[in-house]
Amino acid sequence: MFLGKVVGTLVATRKEASLDGLKFLVVRRLTVENEEESGYVVAADAVGAGIGEVVMVATGSSARQTRLTDKRPCDAVIMAIVDTWEVNGEEKYRKSESS
C-alpha cells in the first residue's frame, strides 16, 4: 500500500454500470516524510474518506477485495484512513482531532 492525501473529487456519469454508487477520489501520493508528490491515483472510496485526510491505497486485484469494489473494473481503493505513522521513532503524521 502507499500513503496518500485525498485532494479532490471526480464526477463521471457515463461509466461501466457496475460502478454505479462508487465514489471516486483523487489521491496524491505522499513520501514517507509526509510530503506531497506529483504522482496521483483516482481511487474508489471504501471507508468514507474526506478531502484532506491521509489514507492508505491498495492497488491491483487487491483493490477489488472490498464489498464495494468486488468484481468491478477498479484498480485502486482507499481501504484505511491513517491516524498516525512514524519512521525511525519520529512521528511523521498525526490526524488532527478536528478532521
Could you list the residues that contact a copy of itself (CB under 8 A)? 1-3, 7-16, 18-19, 24, 26, 28, 31-32, 38, 40-43, 46-48, 56, 58-66, 69, 71-77, 79-88, 92
How far, in Å, CA of 69 to CA of 18, rounded?
9
Distance CA 69, CA 24 (A): 11
At closest approach, how far in Å is the CB of 17 from a copy of itself?
9
- Least gap, CB of 56 to a copy of itself (angstroms): 6
- Report in angstroms how near the CB of residue 3 gets to a copy of itself at its nearest: 6
Q: How does DSSP classify residue 61? A: G
Q: How do strand 36-45 and strand 24-30 relate by DSSP bridges?
A: antiparallel
